[in-house]
Structure 1
Amino acid sequence: MLNLSIVLEDSARQQPDRTALVFGDLRLPYSLVDTIANQVANLLVSRGIGRGDKVALACPNLPYFPFVYYGILKAGAVVVPLNVLLQSREITYHLEDSEAKALFCFEGTPELPLGARGREGFEGAAGAEHFFVLPAAAFATESEYGETLWAALDGVSGEFETVQTAPDDTAVILYTSGTTGQPKGAELSHQNMVLNAMVSDEMFPRGDEGDAFLAALPLFHSFGQTVVMNLGFRRRGTVVLMPRFDPGEALALMRAEKITLFAGVPTMYWGMLTKIHADGDEVPTALRAAVAGGASSPAEVLRDFEATFGIGILEGYGLSETSPVACFNQPGRPTKPGTIGTPIWGVDMKLVDADWKTIEGEGPGEIVIRGHNVMKGYYNRPEATAEAMRDGWFRTGDIAVRDSDGYYSIIDRAKDMIIRGGFNVYPRELEEVLMTHPAVSLAAVVGVPHESHGEEIKAYIIRTPGAAVTEPELSEWCKENMAAYKYPRIIEFRDSLPMTATGKILKRELR
C-alpha cells in the first residue's frame, strides 16, 4: 500500500497547526488542508468515482489546487493536471485522451477565462460526467458555469479513510507539451512520485526553523508539483502560492514571507535580476537554496545571481516522464555551474547514439535514464511507449556531454539542433555567447528554412534596458566570436519572447 497523499496526511498528523499554505492574507494550517481534501475524496466517492478513475484539474496556483489534488489521490483516483492556458478544444482532447470522468475547473478571471473554456471543453468530451467549478470569489456557492466546489461540499464529512493503492498504481497523468504531434500523457505511479519527492527532499538543505517555499512554478507542471508542493508538504514547510509569476511580486513575497527555498526556470531568475538591477529592488536575505530546471541556465544568469544573492543556483534536470528529477548538483559533492550535476540516488543515466548504442567517454550523445523515477509509459500509447523505452531505459531527446567526474551538461534538445550546410549547430551554445554581450539581456536562437543551406541561423534578442545596439553591430560582433558556420545571419530585436506557462521560451513559435 502506498498513496502519494501521505505527504499531506503525515504532516497534518504530526504538525496540524503548522501553516501549510499562504495565499494573499489567507494562512491555512495542515489540518484544514487535509480536512478539505478528505471532503473532496468523500464527494468523489459519492459520485461514483473510485480507484483508477481519472479526474482532471485545471487551476492556477491557488489553495484549491492542493485541496483537490490530494482529495483525488485519497479517493484512489488519478489526477490529470491541465495547463491553465489550454483552449476549450484542447481541454476536450485532454479529457477524452485521459478518459477523465470529472473536471475540477477554476472559474477564471477576465484575463484568463478558464471557466468558460473549461465548461465548453467539458461539454465536448463524451465520457466526462461531472463538472465542478472552483469559484474566483472565496467560498462562493453559485457560478454561471455549474455546480461549485463549496456547494458540492456542503454537509460532506471531513473524515475519510484513504483508499489503499498499490505502489505501481497510477497517481498522476502528466501531459507532455507535445512539440511533435498531439500531447501524450505520461503515467506516473504513486511510487514514482513519492520517491521523487523524498529523494529531492534529502538533497535540498533544511532550515532549523522550518522552510518556506515560493510556489511560482505552476503546480500543474511536474517541476512545481514534485519539488515545491509534494516536497514542501512532506517537509511540513509553508508553501506560498503565486498564481502568476511577476519578478517584482516574487521578490516582495520572498522578503515578506522569508522564503528559504526557491525553485524556478532560468527566465524567472533572469526576470528577478533584471528587476533588482533596473529598479533597485531589495535582495531577499532568507533564501538558502535556489534550484533551477526546465531549461539550461545561461552562464551569465548563474554568475549574476551568485554575485547578487550570495548563493549559487543549483541546477538539475528532469522531464515529466521522470517524475521529474533525474539529475542534480547534489550536496556533499562540488557544484559545477553550467552542469546538471550527477544522477540522483537510485537513478542511472548514460549516453547513447541514434541506434541506442552506448557512448563511452565524454559524448556527445542522447541521455537515457532508468530508475524508480521513470514513468510506466504513455497512457494508451503502446507504440509511443515502445519508441521511447527499451529494457527500462527512457530516451529523453536531450543531447549532453559528460565530464570525467560524471557530471552531465546539456548541449541542446535533439530536435532544436540546427543543421546548417551539413554542420550541426546547437542553439544553446550560441545563446550563451550572445548573452555575454553587454547589450543583450536575453537571446533565443532557432533554425529557419533556407534554400541552399537547409537551415539558416536566426537570433531573437531582447536588449538590456537602455542599450541601443543595432543589427549590423551585433552581427559583426557575432562574426568575431563564433565560427563561420555558426554565427546568426539574421537578427531580430524583440521586447518580449513567447513563453510557455512554465517560463520556457517557445522555440516553435519563433521558427
Structure 2
Amino acid sequence: MRKRLEEIAFSRLKNDKDNAILWWEGKWLSGSHVLDVVDQCRKNLEEKGFGAGDRLVLFLPNSPLVLYLSLAVWQLGGTVVPLNSRSGKEATIAMLHHICPWGVITSDEKGVVAEALSLSSFPWTVAPLEGPLPPFQGRHVEKGDPEVAVIFATSGTTGDPKAVPLTHSNLYDNTLKVQQTIEGFEEHQTLLNVLPNFHSLGYTICGLLPMLWGLREVIVPSFMPTKNFFRALRDSETNILIAVPTMLPFLLGAVSKGEALPSSLQYILTGGGALEPELEQRVRDTFSVIIYQGYGLTECSPVVSCNPNDTMRKEGTVGPALPGYSLDVRDEEGNSLKKGKEGVLWVKGPSVASGYLKAPELTAERFSEGWFNTGDMVRIDEDGFITILDRVSDMLIVGGYNVFPQEIERILKRHPDVIEAAVIGGKHPVSGEIPVAFVVREEGSGLTSSELANFCKDQLAYYKIPRKICFVRELPLSGVGKVLRRKLREQQLRELEQNNRVI
C-alpha cells in the first residue's frame, strides 16, 4: 500500500487542531497553527513553479520551518534535502551540484553558506525559523522521483559527494516500527528534538516521528549552550531525549554544577556511536532514567536495531533488529556465515534504501538483491541481540558527526610538502574520537604540525581538522599498496613516544 508522509501528518494535525503539537522558543504551537503555516509555505512554493520531482535544499538549524517545509514540499510531490551548514564552501558547492536543487533555503544571510551561494548560480533565500517561507524564484532543473521524500548527504569514502535518497515508504516503515517497538515512544509522550536535522537520526526520529505518530515535540536549535537546552527540558516537561553518547558527559558535568533535570524525563535513547557501559551506568545512577542504545545507518532510514525496553535490555548490545528486517552475517567475500560467527552485517527490509543518488558503481558495491552491506563487524547472540565489534569502513564519529578519513587525507596531500597522509581515529573523552593524521613529508621539509593544521582550516569543517599530526618516514602498506590502518592504530602510541610532532 502506497504511503505518503504528509497525508499521515495532516490526519494527525487535524485531529489535534486545538492541542499543543510543537514547542518553540518557550511556547506551544497548536496543530491548527502548523497547518496554517504549512499551507502558506506550499502556496509560496507552488506559485513560483515548484512541483513534483523538484528538490529543496535546507541549510537550517532545528526549527519549525524544517517540518513546515517538509510537509509543504511533499504536498507538491517534491523532495527535501537537509544539509550541514558547516561543511565548508568547497564541500557545499560540490554537494549542491550533485543534488541539483530547485532552490536553497538558509536562515543566515552572512554565514559560510551564504558566501558559497553568492558565488554560485543556485537560487536561494533567507527565511525565518518560525516560518513561513517567503516567495522566491527557483530554477527549472532535472526532475527526480516524487516518491523520494528526503535525500541525506554525506561525504563518500573518496571524499566525493554521496547522497542517500529515502522514499516515503522507507521513512513510514522506520518511524512506525520505532514507535511501536521501543518503550518511550508512546502517543502523547513529549520528545526533545535537538540532534542536527541533516543527520537521519535527528531528522527522522527526533523530527518526523513525533509529527506522524502523535507525540509532542520540543524543538531546540542546538545542544550548545547547554543552559538553553536544560531550560527547554524543564519548561516543556520532556519525557524522552534522543542523544548521541558524546552529549552525556556534558549533561553529567552540567548537573554536577547545579543544573537540574526535570522529574518528567524518563528515557534517554542513544545512537550515533558506542555507549560505554561505565557511562551508561553513571547516567542511570545520576539521572534516575532508563537509558538504552540503538544502532542505525542513513541507508536504513536510519534505525536497524534497539534495546526495546529496560526489562529486555542487554548491556553492551544495540538490541535486536526492528520487525521487518532480515539480517545476514557474512565474511569479507560476501559468503554467509554460520549462526554465532563474527562477520560483516548485511540487512534487508522495507526501511532500506535502494541505492545512492547518481552513483551506480558505489550502489553496486554496497547493495545487492535488496541486501545492504552495513560495513560493520558484528556478533549476534542466540536471542538476536547485536553487538557491534568494529567498523569495517574507516568512518570516524567526531562529536556525533560522521567524518571520513579519505576526505581529510585529500586535503592534507594538497600541501606541497606532503607526500602521503593517512588518518585514523583517536579516542577523546569529550568528542568520542578525534582525527589523527600520519604524514610523510618531503625530504628536507620544515613543515610543522601547526602549519599543516592551519592549512586544513580553510578547507575543512572544524571537527574534521586533525587534532594530532604525527610525521613519519613511511606508512605501513599491504602487498597491494593499501595503507594498513590497523598498523597505524598499533603504531600511534609508539610514534607519539618517539617525539613526533603533535598538536
- TM-score, normalised by the number of residues in structure 1: 0.75
2:193 aligned residue = 215
Contact 1:222 1:320 in 2 (8 A): yes
Select 2:251's aligned residue among 272, 275, 296: 272
1:357 aligned residue = 335
1:51 aligned residue = 52
Q: Distance in 1 between matches of 2:193 and 2:113?
A: 23
Contact 2:246 2:432 in 1 (8 A): no
Contact 2:178 2:185 in 1 (8 A): no
Deviation at 1:334, TM superposition (A): 1.2
Asked whether 1:302 is paired with 2:280, we answer yes
Contact 2:182 2:307 in 1 (8 A): no
Distance 1:16 1:238, change over 3 A: same
One-letter amino acid matched to 1:286? S
1:103 aligned residue = 104
Asked whether 1:85 is paired with 2:86, we answer yes
Deviation at 1:446, TM superposition (A): 6.9
2:162 aligned residue = 184
Q: Distance in 1 between matches of 2:355 and 2:58?
A: 21
Contact 1:342 1:406 in 2 (8 A): yes
Contact 1:173 1:185 in 2 (8 A): yes
Q: Distance in 2 between matches of 1:441 and 1:106?
A: 29
Which aligned pairs between 1:103-502 and structure 2 lie closer than 5 A?
A: 103-107=104-108, 113=111, 116-117=114-115, 119-120=117-118, 124-125=120-121, 128=122, 130-135=123-128, 149-150=133-134, 169-205=147-183, 210-246=188-224, 247-277=226-256, 279-331=257-309, 334-416=312-394, 444=433, 449=438, 451=474, 488-489=493-494
Q: Distance in 2 between matches of 1:361 and 1:62?
A: 45
Deviation at 1:367, TM superposition (A): 1.2
Distance 1:320 1:228, change over 3 A: same
Distance 1:409 1:100, change over 3 A: same
Q: Distance in 1 between matches of 2:277 and 2:330?
A: 26
Distance 1:386 1:149, change over 3 A: same
Q: Distance in 1 between matches of 2:8 and 2:278?
A: 37
Deviation at 1:59, TM superposition (A): 0.5
Deviation at 1:311, TM superposition (A): 2.5
Deviation at 1:390, TM superposition (A): 0.8
**Residues 396-445 of structure 1: CA deviation (Å, up to 9, x unaligned):** 11112222322111122113499xxxxxxxx99x95xxx9xxxx677647
One-letter amino acid matched to 1:274? G
% of aligned pairs identical? 26
Worse-matched range after superposition: 86-95 or 340-349: 86-95
Deviation at 1:457, TM superposition (A): 7.6
- Residue aligned with 2:221, SS: coil
Contact 1:447 1:458 in 2 (8 A): no
- Residue aligned with 1:55, SS: strand
Q: Distance in 2 between matches of 1:486 and 1:353?
A: 27
Deviation at 1:28, TM superposition (A): 1.7
**Residues 220-241 of structure 1: CA deviation (Å, up to 9, x unaligned):** 2110111111111123322211
Contact 1:197 1:231 in 2 (8 A): yes
One-letter amino acid matched to 2:127? L
**Residues 64-90 of structure 1: CA deviation (Å, up to 9, x unaligned):** 111112111111101111112133333
Q: Distance in 2 between matches of 1:225 and 1:196?
A: 12
2:455 aligned residue = none
Contact 1:260 1:289 in 2 (8 A): yes
Contact 2:94 2:161 in 1 (8 A): no
1:478 aligned residue = none
- Runs (4+) of structure 1 exceeding 6 A deviation are 456-459
Deviation at 1:204, TM superposition (A): 3.3
Distance 1:177 1:294, change over 3 A: farther
Q: Distance in 1 between matches of 2:85 and 2:475?
A: 41
Q: Distance in 2 between matches of 1:108 and 1:31?
A: 30
Deviation at 1:208, TM superposition (A): 8.2
- Residue aligned with 1:307, SS: helix
Distance 1:29 1:403, change over 3 A: same
Distance 1:58 1:329, change over 3 A: same
One-letter amino acid matched to 1:362? G
Deviation at 1:115, TM superposition (A): 5.7
Q: Distance in 2 between matches of 1:36 and 1:340?
A: 39
- TM-score, normalised by the number of residues in structure 2: 0.76
Deviation at 1:371, TM superposition (A): 0.2
Contact 1:447 1:456 in 2 (8 A): no
Deviation at 1:395, TM superposition (A): 0.8
Contact 2:306 2:322 in 1 (8 A): yes
**Residues 153-185 of structure 1: CA deviation (Å, up to 9, x unaligned):** 9xxxxxxxxxxx99x821111112434321311
Q: Distance in 2 between matches of 1:364 and 1:29?
A: 49
1:156 aligned residue = none
Deviation at 1:98, TM superposition (A): 1.3
Contact 1:72 1:79 in 2 (8 A): yes
1:21 aligned residue = 22
- Residue aligned with 2:202, SS: helix
Q: Distance in 2 between matches of 1:313 and 1:254?
A: 16
1:41 aligned residue = 42
One-letter amino acid matched to 1:273? L
One-letter amino acid matched to 2:105? F
Q: Distance in 1 between matches of 2:244 and 2:170?
A: 22
Structure 1 unmatched ranges of 5 or more: 140-147, 154-164, 419-426, 460-484, 493-509
Deviation at 1:108, TM superposition (A): 5.4
Q: Distance in 2 between matches of 1:455 and 1:356?
A: 22
Distance 1:39 1:258, change over 3 A: same
2:6 aligned residue = 5
RMSD value, Cα: 3.2
2:66 aligned residue = 65
Q: Distance in 1 between matches of 2:155 and 2:291?
A: 26
Q: Distance in 1 between matches of 2:312 and 2:14?
A: 37
**Residues 352-378 of structure 1: CA deviation (Å, up to 9, x unaligned):** 111111122333211111000111211
